[in-house]
């Protein structure tokens, strides 16, 4: 967060801070976790009879807006009668500040949910485990055992991104299913299967969908479901479903033999997913979200092109384009290389199916609506097509937004690598893509034009260029935020990269899915800006005017009727009478009448019970509401001015809710500056020393960085000195360069502080000591180093207790490592735990690597990884084969622990006195400027 101080003037931006929301608020989004484990197991077993009955299962939730409240309702004991009113013991209420009814911090990874508060971008890992490795569930599922699994219900006061993945515990994620859930406001009643058992093989491949199953899940009791599985026009065949009634959260699963064009018809809204595979292939599976027929469009974007740059196999992404119309249609596939037109027969699929070039996304359009899904690697021969097998549903153009919160997207299964499973991103026009790895606008090395922090950018020189986006910090894109400033739309998918460097098996994750916006059918965005700046200082001060803007966009395929805006003003502001307006698309702006007082309590039209903004919002249309407030005289400027807009509406015809919400915050200065002198208000004399003391305090809730302090010395004064006292990060180090060979050889300590443990502990079945066994000290790169030799068995390790690190603000683990001829199956993991009673947590894993020279590594440890007896370990996590001269070398281990403490240093002469590196919330820096009054003191001074 950049800031500038010039004399006594400060500028800065405080990240949005909103209050914890109260239980019982309006539900904005509702999700039912798809791919119920019983159904997924049936699909997986049909492809591989060795699937077993135990499934590893993970559900990931990314919080879309600051301060959301989420009700997590398990299906096993029935659903709550009212989603926002907990009555059952198993239901979790997350984000309301009450840890007794559910504590978000128990599930928040990384740890960002202290006090049961969930910031935007926070990630809930619901995997029945305390580690990244999911817990195992037994199928068929027993309602007596309450776990996180498919069919669970999530209700939230804002937008969410919900993803579910599952795989056989015995086989691992090579054989898997994955889906991103839809908010119920996007569900439908008519569906067609775009692929099926009769979909032709492509390229050199075999039939990629010899197994095709359909899962139908209901949101309401009394939902009648019919499935024409073989697409013969009736619901009467043996594999069909004819009017079966299911209840809330229940499913119907057609276990195989689904043909392309198969129909699903429901009496009430449902969500539909396909699980497909190649029977007998061991582990070739692909899952797809199916869009309602009434929601099909004539414009899609396929963001992921998985083709290798050259050679065979290619693993190109194949586009399966299905025409539901009764006549042939022309479909255009546009990539950066050009546009090709295809004729798609009525009621059939385009064959041969087009496939995407290396590093090129596609836009698929037609004059008529159609369906399309994308499959990676389906053109390859059967011995290759099962290696990097996943699919996704290209994004309908109406769902493309300029801001995405990323769902479950680990770079590898154990987070040992960032790029095995990247995020595949494209944009619909040339733009700059901003990436915030942790979704936290208060962190990151850079500041965007809106004052929010981010980590990196990508330049898209052309529309439909493609970029693999990964997180080098923690190897996990889950919870990241990607966005554009200029409003350019983004499309993204997550899935395995078939690059030659990606392992076919663990730790690669052989699955993928589309990334959907966190908003539902009604996307709401609220912003705030300074409309009138009375004193012209660019800051929000008493008397200034703030303009608030609420934008509601209908991304649904139904008209949204009766939209009502509820917007309660925050403290410290007063509504400007007559300032409310409404505008539909680019139509003329219309004034909105103020409320009459009485009977209303205030003039503001949208508080109390809210107000209808328009009669309806047509499909694809946007409504913009604006109003103004003045900042009250007693505003102290210590907190951000934020408030939440909630819009409720109903989907026409289908008559189900479509709600949206967003919180807008006006940028607030977080710095407070004082300046005094030692004159005491008395006249000064020639030759007298005159000392100025300036304090700079960060009154915001977030860290500010790069604070420039400037003061122009007036005539008549001569500068003597500048002294700065400011908080600084002072590092203690715990280190070992492994050069010590005395005292058993494992007792080296070369840092500023002593290790809690006097020596490293060795786990070595080959013998103890630095000269024997599988782990020993040898000379590598002209220096003594630790060597794990080529026959090291699993769990060979060295570990050492660092000590109590709980009082430090930041802890970093650094070391040099060198791999020699380590194959995919050879692995060394770096692990840490807060104390001896806690489980080990993975920091990094090294495999499939070979280096001529040592590589410097550095990792920031999280609050959950350090404790009163912090311990680090280097462990062979997968035994060395010994067939390729496999060695791992370790040297120069340094644990750096930083603590904040005052530091005094000399500043510079005026006007540029100093630049403060950073100020944490509540911290103060003091700058003392000593001058002398000129002697003689002239009339011009």
Report the distance separating Cα 431 and Cα 91, nearest Å.
Answer: 43
**Phi, psi (degrees; rounded to nearest 5) at 148:** -85, 120
Report the distance separating Cα 38 and Cα 472, nearest Å.
Answer: 36
Residue 7 has pLDDT above 70, yes or no: no
Report the distance separating Cα 845 and Cα 876, nearest Å.
Answer: 9
CB of 42 within 8 A of CB of 253?
yes
CB of 406 within 8 A of CB of 482?
yes
Domain spans, the chain: 33-181, 186-295, 399-514, 521-666, 751-881
pLDDT, residue 579, reads 98
pLDDT, residue 2, reads 24
Task: Return the number of other C-beta atoms located less than 10 Å from residue 538's C-beta.
Answer: 14
**CATH architecture of the domain formed by 751-881:** Sandwich (2.60)
Kindly give, in sequence order, each residue whose CB lies less than 8 Å from that of residue 931, ignoring residues fewer than 6 positions away: 689, 690, 691, 692, 713, 717, 718, 719, 720
pLDDT, residue 94, reads 97
Burial 485-496 (b: 16+ CB within 10 A, else e): eeebbbbbbbbb
Residue 23 has pLDDT above 60, yes or no: no
Residue 196 tokens read as: 């099926």
Segment 388-403 shows an average pLDDT of 95
Pick left, alpha or beta for residue 454 (phi over 0 → left; psi -120 to 50 → alpha; otherwise beta). beta
- Give me the residues paired with residue 195 across strands: none
Q: Is 385 helix (H, G, I), strand (E, B) or coil?
A: helix
Residue 893 has pLDDT above 70, yes or no: yes
Percent of the chain residues past pLDDT 90, beyond the cut? 75
The dihedral over CA atoms of 42, 46, 51, 54, expressed in degrees to the nearest 10, equals 0
Report the distance separating Cα 772 and Cα 769, nearest Å.
Answer: 6
Looking at 89-98, 276-285, 534-543, which range is the least confident one? Answer: 534-543
pLDDT, residue 6, reads 26
CB of 235 within 8 A of CB of 226?
yes
Residue 899: pLDDT band (50, 70, 90) is confident
Report the distance separating Cα 298 and Cα 276, nearest Å.
Answer: 25
pLDDT, residue 24, reads 61
**pLDDT tens by residue, 707-758:** 899 999 999 999 999 999 999 888 899 999 999 988 788 999 999 999 999 9
Q: Residue 198's closest CA among 225, 165, 172, 231? A: 231
H or E, element range at 548: strand 545-554
- Give me the residues paired with residue 663 across strands: 644
Going by their DSSP bridges, the two strands 704-710 and 2-6 should be labelled as: parallel
**pLDDT tens by residue, 31-84:** 999 999 999 999 999 999 999 999 999 999 999 988 899 999 999 999 999 999
**Phi, psi (degrees; rounded to nearest 5) at 200:** -65, 150
Residue 22 has pLDDT above 80, yes or no: no
**pLDDT tens by residue, 340-349:** 999 999 999 9
Residue 353 has pLDDT above 50, yes or no: yes
935 against 193, higher pLDDT:
193
Kindly give, in sequence order, each residue whose CB lies less than 8 Å from that of residue 456, ignoring residues fewer than 6 positions away: 435, 437, 446
Report the distance separating Cα 30 and Cα 35, nearest Å.
Answer: 16
Report the distance separating Cα 19 and Cα 359, nearest Å.
Answer: 43
pLDDT, residue 65, reads 87
CA 390 to chain centre: 21
CATH number of this structure's domain 521-666, picked from the four choices 2.60.120.260, 3.30.390.30, 2.60.40.740, 3.30.70.1230: 2.60.40.740
Report the distance separating Cα 128 and Cα 105, nearest Å.
Answer: 15
Place of tokens 């935007």: 120
Residue 166 has pLDDT above 60, yes or no: yes
| CA dihedral over 373, 377, 383, 386, signed as positive or negative | negative
Using alpha carbons, list the distances in angstroms from residue 784 to 662, 693, 734, 828: 58, 53, 18, 19
pLDDT, residue 638, reads 59
Residue 102 has pLDDT above 90, yes or no: yes
Report the distance separating Cα 107 and Cα 438, nearest Å.
Answer: 16
pLDDT, residue 940, reads 63
Place of tokens 């800065």: 12
Kindly give, in sequence order, each residue whose CB lies less than 8 Å from that of residue 852, ignoring residues fewer than 6 positions away: none
Segment 129-155 shows an average pLDDT of 94
Segment 467-483 shows an average pLDDT of 94
Residue 925 tokens read as: 């820096």
H or E, element range at 641: strand 641-651
Residue 668 has pLDDT above 50, yes or no: yes
Residue 372: pLDDT band (50, 70, 90) is very high
Residue 12 has pLDDT above 60, yes or no: no
- Give me the residues paired with residue 697 across strands: 672, 924
**pLDDT tens by residue, 314-331:** 999 999 999 999 999 999
Residue 669: pLDDT band (50, 70, 90) is low
Number of helices (H), then strands (E), in the chain: 2, 62
Residue 876 has pLDDT above 80, yes or no: yes
pLDDT, residue 443, reads 82
**pLDDT tens by residue, 609-663:** 999 999 999 999 999 999 999 999 888 665 678 889 999 999 998 889 999 999 8
pLDDT, residue 326, reads 96
Using alpha carbons, list the distances in angstroms from residue 216 to 138, 153, 268: 22, 15, 12
Report the distance separating Cα 850 and Cα 839, nearest Å.
Answer: 30
pLDDT, residue 20, reads 41
Report the distance separating Cα 50 and Cα 44, nearest Å.
Answer: 9
pTM of the model: 0.75
Kindly give, in sequence order, each residue whose CB lies less than 8 Å from that of residue 49, ignoring residues fewer than 6 positions away: none
Report the distance separating Cα 154 and Cα 761, nearest Å.
Answer: 46
Our CA angle for 260, 263, 267, nearest 5°, is 160
Report the distance separating Cα 511 and Cα 179, nearest Å.
Answer: 9
Residue 939: pLDDT band (50, 70, 90) is low
Looking at 196-200, 247-251, 420-424, 881-885, which range is the least confident one? Answer: 881-885
467 against 133, higher pLDDT:
467
**pLDDT tens by residue, 266-306:** 999 999 999 999 999 989 999 999 999 999 999 999 999 99
CB of 587 within 8 A of CB of 518?
no
Report the distance separating Cα 535 and Cα 923, nearest Å.
Answer: 27
Residue 277 tokens read as: 């595979």
Residue 757 tokens read as: 């443990």
Report the distance separating Cα 839 and Cα 701, nearest Å.
Answer: 33
Residue 818 has pLDDT above 70, yes or no: yes
Residue 822: pLDDT band (50, 70, 90) is confident
Residue 401 tokens read as: 């937004």
CB of 69 within 8 A of CB of 61?
no
Q: Write out the DSSP string of 660-716.
A: EEEEEEE----EEEEEEETTTTSPP-TT-EEEEEEEEEE-SSS-EEEEEEE-PPPTT
Residue 529 has pLDDT above 80, yes or no: yes
Residue 937 has pLDDT above 80, yes or no: no
Residue 8 has pLDDT above 50, yes or no: no
Q: Write out the DSSP string of 865-925.
A: G--TTEEEEEEEEE---SSS--EEEEEEEEEEEEEEEEEEEE-PSSSEEEEEEEE-TT-EE
Q: Residue 201's closest CA among 65, 352, 96, 82? A: 352
Task: Return the number of other C-beta atoms located less than 10 Å from residue 856's C-beta.
Answer: 9
**CATH architecture of the domain formed by 186-295:** Sandwich (2.60)
CB of 304 within 8 A of CB of 335?
no
Report the distance separating Cα 667 and Cα 402, nearest Å.
Answer: 21
Our CA angle for 265, 271, 274, nearest 5°, is 90
pLDDT, residue 830, reads 94
pLDDT, residue 407, reads 95
Residue 5 has pLDDT above 50, yes or no: no
What is the overall mean pLDDT for the chain?
91
At CB < 8 A and 24+ separation, what contacts does 97-106 make? 97/20, 98/23, 102/72, 104/70
């Amino acid at each position: 967060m950049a800031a500038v101080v010039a004399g006594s003037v400060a500028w800065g931006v405080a990240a949005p801070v909103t209050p914890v929301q109260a239980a019982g608020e309006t539900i904005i989004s509702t999700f039912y976790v798809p791919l119920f484990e019983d159904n997924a197991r049936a699909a997986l077993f049909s492809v591989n009879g060795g699937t077993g009955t135990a499934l590893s299962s993970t559900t990931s939730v990314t919080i879309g807006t600051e301060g959301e409240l989420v009700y997590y309702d398990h299906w096993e004991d029935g659903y709550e009668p009212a989603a926002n009113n907990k009555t059952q013991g198993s239901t979790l209420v997350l984000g309301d500040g009450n840890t007794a009814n559910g504590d978000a911090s128990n599930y928040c990874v990384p740890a960002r949910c202290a006090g049961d508060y969930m910031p935007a971008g926070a990630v809930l890992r619901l995997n029945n485990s305390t580690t990244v490795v999911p817990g195992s569930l037994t199928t068929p599922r027993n309602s007596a055992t309450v776990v996180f699994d498919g069919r669970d219900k999530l209700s939230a006061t804002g937008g969410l991104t919900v993803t579910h993945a599952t795989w056989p515990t015995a086989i691992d994620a090579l054989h898997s299913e994955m889906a991103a859930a839809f908010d119920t406001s996007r569900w439908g009643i008519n569906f067609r299967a775009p692929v099926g058992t009769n979909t032709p093989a492509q390229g050199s491949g075999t039939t990629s969908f010899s197994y095709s199953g359909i899962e139908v899940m209901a949101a309401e009791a009394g939902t009648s479901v019919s499935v024409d599985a073989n697409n013969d026009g009736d619901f009467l065949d043996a594999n069909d479903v004819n009017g079966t009634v299911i209840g809330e959260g229940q499913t119907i699963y057609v276990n195989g033999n689904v043909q392309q064009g198969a129909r699903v018809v429901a009496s009430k809204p449902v969500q539909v997913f396909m699980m497909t595979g190649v029977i007998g292939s061991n582990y070739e599976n692909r899952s797809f979200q199916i869009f309602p027929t009434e929601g099909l469009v004539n414009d899609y974007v396929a963001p992921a092109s998985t083709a290798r740059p050259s050679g065979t196999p290619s693993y190109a992404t194949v586009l399966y384009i299905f025409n539901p119309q009764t006549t042939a249609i022309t479909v255009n596939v546009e990539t950066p290389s050009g546009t090709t037109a295809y004729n798609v027969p009525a009621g059939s699929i385009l064959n041969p199916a087009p496939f995407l070039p290396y590093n090129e996304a596609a836009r698929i359009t037609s004059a008529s609506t159609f369906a399309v899904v994308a499959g990676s690697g389906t053109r390859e021969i059967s011995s290759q097509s099962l290696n990097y097998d996943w699919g996704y549903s290209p994004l309908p153009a109406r769902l493309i937004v300029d801001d995405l919160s990323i769902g479950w997207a680990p770079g590898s299964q154990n987070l040992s690598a960032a790029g095995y499973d990247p995020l595949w991103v494209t944009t619909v026009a040339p733009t700059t893509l901003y990436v915030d790895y942790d979704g936290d606008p208060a962190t990151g090395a850079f500041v965007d034009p809106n004052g929010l922090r981010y980590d990196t950018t990508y330049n898209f020189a052309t529309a439909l260029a493609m970029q693999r986006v990964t997180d080098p910090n923690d190897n996990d894109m889950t919870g990241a935020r990607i966005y554009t400033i200029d409003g350019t739309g983004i499309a993204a998918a997550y899935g395995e990269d078939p690059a030659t460097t990606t392992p076919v098996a663990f730790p690669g994750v052989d699955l993928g899915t589309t990334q959907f916006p966190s908003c539902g059918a009604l996307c709401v965005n609220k912003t705030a800006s300074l409309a009138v700046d009375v004193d012209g200082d660019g800051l929000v001060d008493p008397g200034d005017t703030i303009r608030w803007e609420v934008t509601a966009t209908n991304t649904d395929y139904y008209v949204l009727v009766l939209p009502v805006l509820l917007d309660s003003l925050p403290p410290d502001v007063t509504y400007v009478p007559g300032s409310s307006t409404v505008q539909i698309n680019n139509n003329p702006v219309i004034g909105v009448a103020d409320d009459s007082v009485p009977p209303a309590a205030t003039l503001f039209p949208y508080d109390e019970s809210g107000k209808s903004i328009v009669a309806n919002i047509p499909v694809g249309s946007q409504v913009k509401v604006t109003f103004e407030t003045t900042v009250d005289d007693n505003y102290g400027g210590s907190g951000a001015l934020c408030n939440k807009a909630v819009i409720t509406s109903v989907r026409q015809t289908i008559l189900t809710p479509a709600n949206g919400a967003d919180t807008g915050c006006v940028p607030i200065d977080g710095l407070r500056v004082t300046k005094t002198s030692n004159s005491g208000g008395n006249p000064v004399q020639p030759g007298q020393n005159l000392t100025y003391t300036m304090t700079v305090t960060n009154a915001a809730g977030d860290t500010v960085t790069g604070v420039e302090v400037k003061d122009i010395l007036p005539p008549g004064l001569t500068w003597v000195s500048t002294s700065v006292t400011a908080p600084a990060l002072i590092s203690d180090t715990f280190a070992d360069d492994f050069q010590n060979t005395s005292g058993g050889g494992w007792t080296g300590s070369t840092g500023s502080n002593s290790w809690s443990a006097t020596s490293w502990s060795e786990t070595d079945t080959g013998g103890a000591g630095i000269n024997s066994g599988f782990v020993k000290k040898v000379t590598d790169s002209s220096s003594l180093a630790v060597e794990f030799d080529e026959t090291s068995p699993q769990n060979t390790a060295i570990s050492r207790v660092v000590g109590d690190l709980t009082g430090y603000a930041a802890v970093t683990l650094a070391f040099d490592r060198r791999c020699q001829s380590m194959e995919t199956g050879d692995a060394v993991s770096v692990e840490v735990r807060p104390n001896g009673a806690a489980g080990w947590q993975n920091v990094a894993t090294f495999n499939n690597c070979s280096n001529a020279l040592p590589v410097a590594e550095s990792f920031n440890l999280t609050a959950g990884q350090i404790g009163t007896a912090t311990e680090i370990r280097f462990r062979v996590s997968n035994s060395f084969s010994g067939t390729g001269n496999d060695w791992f070398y370790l040297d120069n281990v340094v644990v750096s622990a930083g603590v904040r403490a005052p530091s005094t240093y000399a500043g510079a002469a005026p006007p540029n006195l100093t630049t403060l590196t950073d100020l944490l919330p509540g911290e103060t820096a003091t700058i003392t400027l000593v001058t002398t009054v000129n002697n003689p003191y002239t009339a011009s001074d």
